[in-house]
Each structure stands twice: as structure tokens, then as C-alpha cells.
Structure 1
Amino acid sequence: MKLNEIKLTNPYLELPRECYTRVEPTPLENVFLIHANEAVASLLGIDIEELYSDAFLDFVNGALALEGSDPFAMCYAGHQFGHFVPRLGDGRAINIGTLNHLHLQLKGAGQTRYSRSGDGRAVLRSSIREYLMSEAIHGLGIESTRALALIGSEHKVYREVWETGAIVLRVSPSWIRFGTFEYFAHKKRYKELEALADYAIAESYPHLADAPDKYLHFFTAVAGKTARLMAEWQAVGFNHGVMNTDNMSIAGLTLDYGPFAFLDDYDLQYICNHTDQHGRYSFGNQPNIGKWNLQALMHALSPIVQREKLESALEGYADLYHHHYLELMRKKLGLDALKEEKDLELVRQLLRMMQELQPDYTLFFRTLSRYDGERSSLLKLGLYHQPMHAWLERYDERLKENRSTLQERHRAMLRTNPKFVLKNYMLQEAIEAAQKGDFSVVDALFRIAQDPYAEHPQHERWAGPTPDAFKNQKLSCSS
């Protein structure tokens, strides 16, 4: 499909007027294409050659409106670091329409009603980080927003120092947040709250549309999706960094990439956001915050659902999380015969060992994926050998109960444990090259992001442990 054949729709604009504000994008100056995601273009039905046209560049810059486009910014509230803010909204994101059930959004396209004191812009470094990481999370099999394109510019933007502006064209099956419901509950606009719930059900949980007690089932489904997402983050070693309720997706997607990080060394107390001085959003606390945020959503939905029923539904969150997490860890360990109590204890012992030794998380599991009884490659990942020896003794005993052969286990584990994750030092390398006009590192990391389980021998240097000088760096919310 050519750009001039696209007809966008705007289903969100059918909601009450209080849910959004119409706004026109403000194009950047002297723009250029940095990268386009051909896989996302195929999902949208856009011809690949269109991505490299001048018209497409204008489209991503907000200078070309396609048929049916009616740009708007969404309104929502949220708990930020536990404190309620009654009105937030899309401060630097502008929705431009829906295509093939995916909502297109320009991040960095100028001010909206919700920008407050901000300029509505996104800088090159943060845009590169989001563009690459959203594809990396998707490549790991975790539900996420994605991006169709990234453009740069010569437009100057001030963030402590002068930087250049960029725009990411993000796509998602839903942009509705927990905080969207909090906004209307706080204002006691219960008709709008109900309309929003009906819209979210139609968009993300259509099988519930005609269910009795549909709003209760909706909350139960959101809780289940959130439990699974938290388990996936923990299993792959991803720290989101800013799990405010306005950054939590009602559809269970990884949403809003800011000061995120993949673990370098394993550490439950790791904090990637330098604003988070008390560790509210530390790596190990993410499952608890998932529940805390669901409690905030529960409170927002209580005007239209009996609170006792919501509380009862939320009681299942912990069991769901632990079930999903154990299943994921069993796959990472290559365990194929269900021994639930043994496996649970083996995982607990593993995590205690890893907390003590703090090996590189990704490298440990990738190395374990080729384990055949010879321990030297694993032992060198930690400073002390005895804790690793002790755990491997237990692991060896458990593997005797497996049904699969050694070769089958290795193949399964290599498909489960990525060789690469996009660590922050890798992203910083891409940013620094891009700031000099070299986008080859962006392209290389994008290819890795799309297939993190492949060997990519030309990029072997990124498969090792993070260099000591770059470990455990903290970033800002504007990162």
C-alpha cells in the first residue's frame, strides 16, 4: 500500500471529549531518516519502498497528514513514585490515526495541552534508546509497543545542554494506561469511566464484550496480563525504571521506555533510574509494584465494579506471577519433566547463588545453555567457585530426571536464553556514533534486537560481560 492509499481511522475520538485534546504536530527543521522498521511496515500493510521516500519523511515529521488523520493527545492521570498527579497526558506524543488495528503516534512532534512546562520534543539519544529497545523487547517475545521509524534533525533542543531533536513514530495496539482510568475516577466522571472501560474491552479484550460482570472480568484479565509481563521482565533481567501508573499498559504491554536497563551483573537491588533514590522501581521490586499499580487501577474501577469482587480478583495476582515466573525459569534451565517443588527450590537456590556471586545475568544463562558437566566456563563467571559448584551439584541431580537428550536440551535452551540483550553501554555507543552522523551502530543493534538468539559472530564483542567502566549506570527519566 502506498502512502497516498492509506486511510487512517480514529476510534479513540469516539470517546467523550474529556478523554483527549486535538492538536497539530509541529515539524522539526532539516529532518532525515535514521532508520525504518520494515517488519512493522509489513504489519501495517505499507509498501517497503515507501519507507525511503520524501513523503514518508514528511509523514513521520508531522508535515504530511494522510487521509483520515485527526491528530490528538490523550488525557490521563497517574501515580508518580507513589504520589497521585490528577492530570498528566501526552506531553510529547501526538496520535495521528489507526491502521490495521495499530495506533500510530509521533513522539517528539511538539507541544500539546499536557506538555506543562515542556517543549514537547524528544532528543536524539532518548529516541534511539526507545526505537532500539522496543524492538529488542519484542524480539525477546515480550509484548511491547514498537516503532515504525526514527528520524533525526538539525532542530536544537535544550536539555541541560543543546541537543538535536528527533521523532519516533511509535505503534501500539493500545495506548490506554492505568492512569487513564484514574483520571476519570478522580474527577468522578463515571459515565466517561464506563465508556473508557467499554472501549478498552473492545480494543484489547473483545471476548469480554458481552460477558456478565464484564468490568470485573476486564480487571481480572488486566491483572493476569500484568502478572505475566512482570514475570517476563524478571526472567530476562529487564528493569523498566519508572513504573508509574501512567506508564502501565492496560493491554499488558511494555510501555514508555525511559531510564530502562538490562541487568549487567545480577542484583535484585539494582536501580537504573537515578531519580529513584529509595529503590521503589528497583529490579527486584517490580513484581510488587505491578500489584501496587493494580491496586490503584482497582480503586479507579471501584465506582463501576463492586470493590470486594475486585479485591478477590487481585488476590490471584501473586500466584499467577509465581506460576509464570517458574515456568519461564524452568525453560531457561532446560527442565522438561515437571517436578514443581524440586524446580521451585532449585530456582530459589540459583537466585541466592547469583545474588552472592553477581555474574553477568545474560551470559550466565547463555553459557549454561551449553552445559554438559564441564564447569570451567561457568565457574569463571563468578569470583568464588564454591557457591557455583554447590548449585551445579543440585542442577546435575535434577537433570537426571529430564526426558530430553543433552543435545535436545541445548537446542531448547539456546532458543530460550538470548546471546544478546541491548545493554546500556551498547546503546550509548550507538548514540555517540549517531551524534557524529554515523548510524551504522544503530543498524547493527537493530539487527541484533530482531534476533537476539542468533550467533551474530561479527558482533561477538557485545556478547561478553559489560566492561567494568560501564556497569550499572543510572539514567534520568529523559533518557
Structure 2
Amino acid sequence: MPVSARYRPDSRFAPLGSEFADPVAAADFPETILRFRNDRAAATIGLEGLTDAEWIAHFGRFASLPGAQPSPLAMRYHGHQFRSYNPELGDGRGFLFAQVREAGTDRLLDLATKGSGQTPWSRHGDGRLTLKGGMREILAAGLLEALGVPTSRAFSLIETGEALTRGDEPSPTRSAVLTRLSHSHIRFGTFQRLAYFERADLISAMVDHVVETYFPHLANAPDRPTAMFEEVVTRTARLVARWMAAGFVHGVLNTDNMVVTGESFDYGPWRFLPGNDPNFTAAYFDHSGLYSFGRQPEAGFWNLQQLAACLVLVSPDQSGLIAALNRFSDAYKDSLREAMIARLAVRSQGAEADVELVNAAFKALAEGTRIAGGEALRWEPFFFDWFGGEASERRALEGPRGALYEDGVFADFRSRLAAFEPDRPERLENPVFGRSQPEELLIEEVEALWTPIDQADDWAPLNAKLSRIEAARSAYGLDH
């Protein structure tokens, strides 16, 4: 197998044993047609040299990678789903396939699946993924990465030749198996399951695993559960702030969809905002707006409360957990300020000035959206037009939204922005900023990308879109 020297398998989860996961086998799919392979991501773990046939063998048939764990593992967890506790969760259509080290950073990364077949936790589901669902995850993860959001990466998508029946889309529909590359799949719900069974010993074991595997700088902390929780609070605040700056609505912020390393993953009914609307929801079944755009910080905090309730069983000082939880608000505000300043590509002028600019930006987005009944200003073009601050003023005013920016509702924003220096202004020399429109992913475009695949097996529009997203990622240069 042509792996490079960068390939370093390191199975850290499997040794935890049978209390945390179940060995499973992948489904035997009728077909395995390679539709997407992320060679940029593969290069970071030494797998870019695989032939397509070898790729399919490992990510369509799930033959073990050399030196990796011998069997896929369906991870065990519980979780709150729309605030109702469900003790019957777990990996029902996916598994942890392998763990590898990332070249350069030495981070441990998971190769995990979606749509790989039934497991003991399938709850009568078919364990499959629609091809459209796989396509949507590729798009969401790709644009979020470009916009500086900590996210899993879509690694592979293989069409599997089965006709699936679904109640929320035209059926029968095509099937696929997705593999994602992510820093961790240890969910808040992983701890909830252990607390449900009152297994303080296993909670302690999982805390040790998380600290030693993902947060080794906390190894000598006198109170590991609290130290770990403090880290998770900070990372969760940063993740939610990055969603907000990206205008992204996850859609299903259940506790089994949030991981301790603070990455976004598992993209179901996601949406990007058309304009600044705090009540905008992604899931058609979210009738109360529980996970609407403006309530995502609340959702993150509520989920952290549930994690803290589990750690109470093993922390010697519960006041430390409470103190860490109460720092979420400030951590979120600081992270949102930093994320918005990064999106505007200007240099910080200190917390007070930064906050005033951020507030002015949100107000401008809201007022600009209302000017023409929600049609005047979309979320992503605003950040694209003003990328680099005053250095982009001429570009913004001469662009397709220039007349809008001349309106008085933008006066305060433009005045405050003028006081900020551009950050790495050489980025504006990228050809991406010679375009009149940024890369967006509104739902209408997602549907338009799916139509040629569905009707004519034409993947060219999707591949072109992914190339443009990759160009945007390179141009923006936002860290994660």
C-alpha cells in the first residue's frame, strides 16, 4: 500500500474497551463508485498516494488501514435531542474506522463514517446515508473551513448502489457512504451515557483519556475534570462564535452533536443565512426555533450545563465546574469579537474599539437586510465586500452593492471601519477579490447543484463549486 512517511496510525480509543464501543462490520454494498476524495486532507495523514481502487477498498469496503485498529467501532453515547433525553442513541449508521496522526501538528485525527451500515445502535434504521446528504456535508464542511470555522472535513464520498426510502425527500433516492476526518468524536453525550449508568469510574477513565489524548497540557492539573471542562467551555464558545461570524446555522445542536474538542461536525439540516435574521432556522422540524441562528449561543451553554452535570460525579470541587460554566458568556463574547475582526480582515484596535466595530457591523447587516424587505444585503457579500476594511472601500462602493453602502445606515460602520488597518492586505491581491460575488451556499444553490447529479449524473457543477470554495479558502487565509 503506497502510504507516505506521514502516515502514522495511532489507535487511542480502541484500548478503552467494550464499555465505550462495539466492534462492527461495514455493510456489503452492491456498488462502490468513487464520487469525492479529499486529496488535500489525505496528504496531511499520508494517504494521498492511494489509487482510486485502493481508496475504494479502504473507504468503500473498509478494509483495515495498515497498523490501524483491526475492526470498526460503533461508539456508545446518549444525548439530549431537542432538550429531551434519549438513552437509546449511539453510532447507528457510522463507526470509528481508524485514528491517525496529522503531519506537522501531531494532532490525533479520526476517520469516521456516516452511512456505513447498521450497528447495535441503529434502532430499526437502515444505517444508510443518502447521496444528497453526503453531497451536502461536503459542501458545508468545505465552506465552513474556508470561513475559519473549526470543522470536520469531508474525506471521501462513495456511492453505494442502493435505493433508499426517505420521508423528507423524493424516494427512492441514491445512497452513499461518507468518511469524515475530524479531531475527535468524543461527544458530550459520551459522558451523559456514563452518568446515566452512574459509572463514575468510567467517567474518570474518559476524562483521563480526553486529557491525555487531546489536552496533554492539562495532565498535571490537580482537578482533571474541572480543568478539562474549562477547556471544553473555551472551545465551545469559540466554535459557536465562529458559526455566528460565518452566518451558519447548524440546525441540530443536540448534546450528541457536540464534541469536547470544539469542532463542528455531522451536517444534517444546516443553512447559511441569507441575511441577518436571529430567528432563522435550518431544520424544518424545529418549530419552536430552539436552534435558530440567534439561539445558538444559548444552545451551546445549555449543552455545557449537561456536561457539567456529568462531571459533578467525579470532580472534587463542584464550585470549579460552576465557575468554568459561568465563564462561557465572556469567552463567547471575546471569541465573537475575534471572529468578526478576522472576517473583516482588519487588525485589532483593542477590545473596546473592536466591540464597537462589531456592533456596528451587526447593526449594518440588520438594517441593510431590512432596506428592501430582506433582499438588499445578504450576509456573505457584506464580509466579502469589506474584507480588509478601508483597503476595500473602493472595491465595495464600485461593486454591485455600492449604492446600498452609500445609504446612511452604513455611516457608523464605515466610519468605525476606517480607523482599522487592514490585516495582511496582500490577500486582496488574490484573483478571488476581483470577482463581484463571494462563494455562498444558500439553499437554492445547494438544490441547483444536486439537480444535475440527480437527473443526469452530472458532477461538473458540484466539482466547479468545490474548486471555487477551495480558491476562497486560500484567498481568505483564516485560521481555524
For the superposition of Structure 1 and Structure 2, which TM-score range results when normalised by the shorter chain? 0.7 to 0.9
Structure 2 residue 201 is matched with structure 1 residue 191: yes
Q: Residues 11-43 of structure 1: CA distance to partner in whole angstroms, max 9, x if unpaired?
A: 212114221111111121122111111011111
Asked if 2 retains the 8 angstrom alpha-carbon contact of 1:334 and 1:410, the reply is: no
Q: Percent identity?
A: 30
Report the secondary structure of 1:104's partner residue: strand
Residue 12 of structure 2 is matched in structure 1 by 11
Shift of residue 131, structure 1, vs aligned partner: 2.2
Shift of residue 393, structure 1, vs aligned partner: 2.4
Give the TM-score, by structure 1 length: 0.86
Q: Which moved more, 1:74-83 or 1:138-147?
A: 138-147
Whichever residue aligns with residue 309 of structure 1, its letter is G
Residue 155 of structure 2 is matched in structure 1 by 148
Q: How far, CA to CA, are the matches of 1:448 and 1:400 in structure 2?
A: 30
Whichever residue aligns with residue 322 of structure 1, its letter is K
The gaps in structure 1 that reach 5 residues or longer are 457-479
Query: Kindly tell me: are residues 192 and 376 of structure 1, through their superposed partners in 2, closer, same or farther at Cα, counting changes over 3 Å?
Result: same
Shift of residue 114, structure 1, vs aligned partner: 0.6
Residue 373 of structure 2 is matched in structure 1 by none
Q: Residues 366-399 of structure 1: CA distance to partner in whole angstroms, max 9, x if unpaired?
A: 12332249847576686xx8xx733432234334
Q: Residues 269-318 of structure 1: CA distance to partner in whole angstroms, max 9, x if unpaired?
A: 10011111000100111111111111111001110113221011111111
Q: Give the alignment of 1:201-280 within 5 angstroms.
A: 201-280=211-290
Shift of residue 406, structure 1, vs aligned partner: 12
Shift of residue 365, structure 1, vs aligned partner: 1.9
Q: How far, CA to CA, are the matches of 1:278 and 1:376 in structure 2?
A: 41
Q: How far, CA to CA, are the matches of 2:424 and 2:62 in structure 1?
A: 57
Structure 2 residue 140 is matched with structure 1 residue 130: no
Structure 2 residue 393 is matched with structure 1 residue 371: yes
Q: Residues 209-243 of structure 1: CA distance to partner in whole angstroms, max 9, x if unpaired?
A: 22221221110000000111111110111110100
Report the secondary structure of 1:153's partner residue: strand
Structure 2 residue 188 is matched with structure 1 residue 168: no
Q: Residues 117-144 of structure 1: CA distance to partner in whole angstroms, max 9, x if unpaired?
A: 2000001000111123223222323221
Report the secondary structure of 2:222's partner residue: coil
Report the secondary structure of 1:65's partner residue: coil
Q: How far, CA to CA, are the matches of 2:415 and 2:291 in structure 1?
A: 36
Query: Kindly tell me: are residues 134 and 164 of structure 1, through their superposed partners in 2, closer, same or farther at Cα, counting changes over 3 Å?
Result: same
Q: How far, CA to CA, are the matches of 1:333 and 1:64 in structure 2?
A: 45
1:394 is aligned, of 412, 419, 434, to: 412
Q: Residues 157-195 of structure 1: CA distance to partner in whole angstroms, max 9, x if unpaired?
A: 211321121011112221110010011011101111111
Report the secondary structure of 2:85's partner residue: strand
Report the secondary structure of 2:42's partner residue: helix
Query: Kindly tell me: are residues 247 and 123 of structure 1, through their superposed partners in 2, closer, same or farther at Cα, counting changes over 3 Å?
Result: same
Asked if 1 retains the 8 angstrom alpha-carbon contact of 2:360 and 2:412, the reply is: no
Q: How far, CA to CA, are the matches of 1:406 and 1:146 in structure 2?
A: 26
Q: Give the alignment of 1:49-198 within 5 angstroms.
A: 50-52=50-52, 54-62=53-61, 64-67=63-66, 68=68, 69-100=70-101, 101-160=108-167, 161-198=171-208
Give the TM-score, by structure 2 length: 0.86
Q: How far, CA to CA, are the matches of 1:403 and 1:124 in structure 2?
A: 45
Q: Which moved more, 1:300-309 or 1:336-345?
A: 336-345
Q: Residues 243-270 of structure 1: CA distance to partner in whole angstroms, max 9, x if unpaired?
A: 0000001100011111111111221110
Q: Which moved more, 1:97-106 or 1:125-134?
A: 97-106
Asked if 1 retains the 8 angstrom alpha-carbon contact of 2:365 and 2:382, the reply is: no
Asked if 1 retains the 8 angstrom alpha-carbon contact of 2:79 and 2:189, the reply is: yes
Whichever residue aligns with residue 451 of structure 1, its letter is A
1:431 is aligned, of 450, 461, 475, to: 450
Count of aligned residue pairs for this structure pair: 449
Q: Which moved more, 1:154-163 or 1:172-181?
A: 154-163
Q: How far, CA to CA, are the matches of 1:339 and 1:367 in structure 2?
A: 23
The gaps in structure 2 that reach 5 residues or longer are 102-107, 370-376
Asked if 2 retains the 8 angstrom alpha-carbon contact of 1:3 and 1:66, the reply is: no
Shift of residue 61, structure 1, vs aligned partner: 1.7
Query: Kindly tell me: are residues 39 and 379 of structure 1, through their superposed partners in 2, closer, same or farther at Cα, counting changes over 3 Å?
Result: closer
Whichever residue aligns with residue 85 of structure 1, its letter is N
Q: Give the alignment of 1:307-322 within 5 angstroms.
A: 307-322=318-333
Report the secondary structure of 1:181's partner residue: helix
Q: Which moved more, 1:24-33 or 1:76-85?
A: 24-33
RMSD of aligned residue pairs (Cα, Å): 3.0
Residue 420 of structure 1 is matched in structure 2 by 439
Report the secondary structure of 2:243's partner residue: helix
Asked if 2 retains the 8 angstrom alpha-carbon contact of 1:4 and 1:66, the reply is: no
Report the secondary structure of 1:55's partner residue: helix
Q: How far, CA to CA, are the matches of 1:74 and 1:418 in structure 2?
A: 42
Report the secondary structure of 2:112's partner residue: strand
Query: Kindly tell me: are residues 392 and 378 of structure 1, through their superposed partners in 2, closer, same or farther at Cα, counting changes over 3 Å?
Result: farther
Q: How far, CA to CA, are the matches of 2:178 and 2:221 in structure 1?
A: 38
Query: Kindly tell me: are residues 331 and 148 of structure 1, through their superposed partners in 2, closer, same or farther at Cα, counting changes over 3 Å?
Result: closer
